[in-house]
Structures are given as C-alpha cells and as structure tokens.
Amino acid sequence: MKTFMLVGCIVALAISSAQAADDSELQLQNRLRAHIEFLADDLMLGRQPGSDGYNIAANYVSSQFRQMGLQPAGDDGSYLQQVPLRRAYLEPGSAQLAFINASGTTPLGFIDEFYMGPALGSTSSDVEAGLIFVGYGIEAGELEHNDYSGLDVEGKIVVLFSGQPHDFPSEEGAHFASRTEKTVAAVRHGAVGVLMIHTPRASQRYDWDRVTSGVGSPSMGWLNKQGEVHGVFEQIQGGAMVRHSAAGPLFENAPVSLEALLVSDDNGEALTTFDLEGSVRMRQKSTHETIYSPNVVAVLPGSDPLIANEYVVYSAHLDHIGELHSEGDEQNKKDLINNGALDNASGVAVMLETAQLFTERETPRRSILFVAVTAEEKGLVGSEYFAMNPTVPQDSIVAEINLDMPLLLYEFADVIAFGAEHSSIGTSAKVAAQSYDTELSPDPFPDQNLFVRSDHYSFVKQGIPSVYLVTGVRSLDETVDTQPIFEGFLKDHYHKPSDDVSLPINYKAAAKFTRINTKIGELLANDPNRPTWHEGDFFGRTFAK
C-alpha cells in the first residue's frame, strides 16, 4: 500500500511539474505577444526617434525594467540615456544634380534618377567640381586593394560604384565597402564630393525603391560635446546616389564605357580608374534642429565580487521608420504607419523576456546590461552613441549580443549568430543552441553584409566581441520551405506598413529563441574568462584596444 501511494505521489509530482513547465512556456509566449502588440500598435506611429510614439515606447521599456527589479543604468539614476541628435530635413524642391560637359548641361530628376538625403553638416550646399572614377572607392591595405593608387582626386568629386570586389571576404569586405569607410577614404585623398552609382549588381541586394524610400524622412546624427555631428566631414560638400540607367552622360568620351564597367562589376573583373570629362554640380538645402531621443538602459548586477564589475550587453533597437512621407500612390493608402512588428518590436520583446528569465534564476557572476537603442534606422546612431559613451566603463564591457528583426514566422531548426566565427562567443552560441536541440548555422546571406548592418557593429568598432543573433533558415517541419517566407517578408513587408501584428508571428518559436538567447548570455556571464577575438582575426586586429 505504501509503495502504491509513493508511486502515486511520484506520478502526481511528475504531472504537476510538466503542467508547471507548460504553464511557464505559455506565460512566456503570452508576454512576448503582449510586448510586440504594444510596441507595434498604431499609437506609437512607427516609433520615429524624437516622436511622442517613440517616447511612449521608451517609457514602456523603462516600466518593464522597473517591474523586473532591474537597476536603472541611464543618466542621473534613471533608465534613460538621452542621446543628443541633430535632425535634418531636406527642403522640398532643393535637391539638384547636373552633369556639365562640352555637350552642355544635363540635369537629373530627383528620385527617379538620383537621390540625396538631408545634409547633417550644413543647412545648404552648392558644389561644382571635376570628376574622377575611382572604381569602388575602396582603400584596404589589409586586402591588398587600393582604388586610389596613382590618382589625384584633390578638389574633385569621386565617382564610384556601390559594393565591393567579388573576391573580398564577405564581412571584411563589407567593412571597407560601407558608406562610412568609402567617405573616409575620399576625405583622406582630398575629394570634395562623392557620387555613388547604384549598379545592377547592387539592385540584387536592394532595389532603387529602397534607396529612395527615405524621401520626406529626416536624417539624424549624434552631437558631440562641441555641438558637431559625429562622423560628418565638412570637406565633403555634396553627395548623391545616381541610378545606373541615368549615369551614362558621366562617361561621355571616357576611356572605358559605363556599360563595359557594369559588365566587369557583374563578372568580378577589376575596374579601371580614370579621369572623367566635365563636372558635376550638386545643390540642396536642409533644415536643422536639435532633439533628444533616449536609449533605455538597465542592469542586473552580477554576484561574483571578482567579475561583477564586468558586463555582458544585450541590445535591441527600439525605433522604427515612422509614417510614410513619400509622394504619390503611398499617400492614397489608408495605412501610413510603419509599425515595425518584426523590425524590431520582436527583438525588444525577446530582450525584455531575456531579462525576465535572468531574474527568475540564479544571479549570474558578471553583470548583465540591457540596452534598447534609438535611431538604428538612421545609421546605427543610438548604439554608436552608447558604445562610445557607455554608462559603465567602456573597458568593462566584455561581450555584446544584438537582437534585430528575428523572423519569428515558423518553428526554426537553426539559429545564426553573425560574427560567431570571429570570437570565442561563437562557442557559447553553439552550446546554447544545442541545449535546445537547435543548430548554429553559418551566415547564409554573405552577399547581404549583415555583420556590419546592425547595432552590434557599433560595439565591434570599440573592440568588443559581439554577435547578432537571428532565427535560422531551416524549419523543424521539413515540409516548410522557408525561402519564400524570408523573401516574401523582405519584398512585401520590410520597412512597410504591413510589418504589423497581422503577420503570422509564431510565439512558440519566439519563446524558444528567447531561451537560446538567454543561455548565450548566461554562459558568457558565468565564464571566469572574458571572451576573446580569435587570434589574427581582422576585426580583433583592427579594433581591439
């Protein structure tokens, strides 16, 4: 009889434990759903930095951190780190670009043929200068490539192709092919303007509509203590993107035709560099204002006195792109709000529930810092400000895990940690994934250059080993083809009003992703050794201090 009762108790306990686990899982899914539905609500008006909608979202995240018992780690004992921003709008009708040569003046049409955004450095610009074609405009000694070799570009406008040579390593190449690095190279050689040609090859990664989607939206940059926008070069008096189909007049009488250069770009052949006849004139006017938009920062203090003063950072961008402003058909649509449910209410939701899971278990040895950053959509502005002006000592940050647009649309069989191959964080990511019967896959989109396109890269540039975690491309259900899901989201919903809670968001997948994400941080926070760059790694050599 006693044996029967003991067996009965064990069975009841097992059933009770299983029920508790099921309840916990359901609660996690419901909390994730609640976060996403709130942050992607029309009330937020697309969470544009500096807007009332963004501030509501920031206050929501602060409130969640406070409810969890996390300590504020922003300014003056608050959860908010106010980021000083310059917000610039292009004055309507002021953007002008024209080619000038012996055949006359050829003006281009704004939006259809060229695009320039608002200028952050000055309220007006008017530059006319000679031209020189500099290939991709890349100077990369580490890759034994220098498009400026033997060229004199002093006082000229450099004309260059978007992208990079085919044989560049994906992530290292993406660094040198970024707009920032190309501008730095142009400045180093004395250029006064940059004219980038949007090539057919570039269109395979982002079409012309993506280039011009920012019409009507502001540019933003953070202000340093001198009141200047970080990363803006006064020397560059004008810049624009030109559609390849409109760039023909630039290459009139050139030693190599534009058509031949585009073929070389497609085929991976070296691009010839040379002077171009004539000049280009670029004009525009912008309006400027100073605003503040907060990063939201909280900390879970570590338990080990020896390493509690070191931090593992989680980041997710809280902002999105606001409302539609472009002219034409879009204005006739009923829904003008870009809600950003998956970009990036989903990432913020996962970060919040990662924080919640940490508060429910044994306190990790290192401290955990949670940062919801502003102005990612404006060029990683908020994360760059935090990485360069952290609210904890910069050298105390040992690792960074970024969450941006996990596509929670199916039950995934793998995850991707962009940057995992560069540092010892990759091992932790692999172990964490395997803990939940999930594989860690290599980057399946090397041509998209994702390693340099999200907030973790702001930390990489400060020498901090970092990864960017997303759901993988394989489904647990082998009958599900995920490629149309990925491509369909990017084509039909990315940066559009339809990225909202009507999407078939899979909250079971969201919960699993959250647990894997938490496990990575737990491993890093409890390891007695700081994460390290792999020996000889390019990013470690370039940025580690």
> For position 204, what pLDDT does the model report?
87
Nearest to 242 by CA among 124, 439, 387, 98: 98
Query: Which structure tokens are listed for 312?
Result: 């593992």
pLDDT band at 51, cuts 50/70/90?
A: very high
Whole-angstrom Cα distance, residue 165 to residue 270? 8
What does the angle CA 209 – CA 179 – CA 317 come to, to the nearest 5 degrees?
A: 75
Tens of pLDDT, residues 193-207: 999 999 999 998 888
> For position 23, what pLDDT does the model report?
87
**C-alpha torsion angle, residues 85, 90, 91, 92 (rounded to 10):** -140
**Which residues, in sequence order, are CB contacts of 219 under 8 Å at separation 6+?**
87, 88, 117, 118, 119, 120, 286, 378
Whole-angstrom Cα distance, residue 472 to residue 470? 6
Whole-angstrom Cα distance, residue 100 to residue 516? 57
Nearest to 273 by CA among 114, 149, 413: 149
Whole-angstrom Cα distance, residue 242 to residue 259? 15
pLDDT band at 213, cuts 50/70/90?
A: confident
Would you say residue 507 has pLDDT above 60?
Answer: yes
> For position 210, what pLDDT does the model report?
83
Tens of pLDDT, residues 343-396: 999 999 999 999 999 999 999 999 999 999 999 999 999 999 999 999 999 999
Would you say residue 3 has pLDDT above 70?
Answer: no
How confident is the prediction for the chain on average, in pLDDT?
94
How does DSSP assign 269-296, residue by residue? PPPP-EEEEEEEEEEEEEEEEEEEEEEE
pLDDT band at 400, cuts 50/70/90?
A: very high
Would you say residue 330 has pLDDT above 90?
Answer: no
Strand partners, 406: none
Whole-angstrom Cα distance, residue 393 to residue 336? 42
Asked if 416 and 444 count as a contact pair (C-beta separation under 8 A), the reply is yes
Strands 274-300, 124-133: pairing is antiparallel
- The one-letter code for the residue type at 544 is A
The average pLDDT across 114-138 equals 97
pLDDT band at 334, cuts 50/70/90?
A: confident
Q: How many residues does the chain have?
A: 545
The average pLDDT across 292-307 equals 98
pLDDT band at 100, cuts 50/70/90?
A: very high
Asked if 466 and 383 count as a contact pair (C-beta separation under 8 A), the reply is no
Burial of 508 (0-12, 13-18, 19+ CB in 10 A): middle
> For position 446, what pLDDT does the model report?
82
The average pLDDT across 293-298 equals 98
Would you say residue 439 has pLDDT above 70?
Answer: yes
Query: Which structure tokens are listed for 394?
Result: 């910069």
Cα–Cα separations (whole angstroms), residue 97 to 111, 127, 137, 328: 11, 10, 20, 22
More confident residue, 204 or 538: 538
Nearest to 178 by CA among 191, 193, 196, 199: 196
Domains of the chain: 34-69+301-543 (3.40.630.10), 88-288 (3.50.30.30)
Whole-angstrom Cα distance, residue 226 to residue 29? 46
Tens of pLDDT, residues 55-76: 999 999 999 999 999 999 999 9
The average pLDDT across 73-96 equals 97
The average pLDDT across 261-278 equals 97
Whole-angstrom Cα distance, residue 332 to residue 327? 9
Whole-angstrom Cα distance, residue 390 to residue 81? 9
Cα 111 → chain centroid: 24
Tens of pLDDT, residues 141-197: 999 999 999 999 999 999 999 999 999 998 999 999 999 999 999 999 999 999 999
Whole-angstrom Cα distance, residue 439 to residue 434? 6
* Residue 122 phi, psi (nearest 5): -150, 160
Scanning the structure block, which residue is given the tokens 């020498």? 463
* Straight-line distance from the first to the last Cα atom of the chain, in angstroms, rounded to the nearest whole number: 70
pLDDT band at 328, cuts 50/70/90?
A: very low
> For position 329, what pLDDT does the model report?
42
* Residue 473 phi, psi (nearest 5): -105, 5
**Which residues, in sequence order, are CB contacts of 121 under 8 Å at separation 6+?**
229, 232, 233, 234, 236
Cα–Cα separations (whole angstroms), residue 143 to 146, 196, 453: 9, 22, 21
Query: Which structure tokens are listed for 194?
Result: 């940059």
Scanning the structure block, which residue is given the tokens 């996403």? 36
**By percentage, how much of the chain surpasses pLDDT 70?**
94
541: left (phi over 0), alpha (psi -120 to 50) or beta: alpha
> For position 333, what pLDDT does the model report?
55
Strand partners, 238: 193
Q: How big is the chain by its Cα radius of gyration, in Å?
A: 25
Would you say residue 214 has pLDDT above 90?
Answer: no
**Which residues, in sequence order, are CB contacts of 215 under 8 Å at separation 6+?**
90, 111, 115, 325, 326, 327
* Residue 269 phi, psi (nearest 5): -90, 155
pLDDT band at 462, cuts 50/70/90?
A: very high
pLDDT band at 286, cuts 50/70/90?
A: very high
What does the angle CA 285 – CA 289 – CA 291 come to, to the nearest 5 degrees?
A: 145
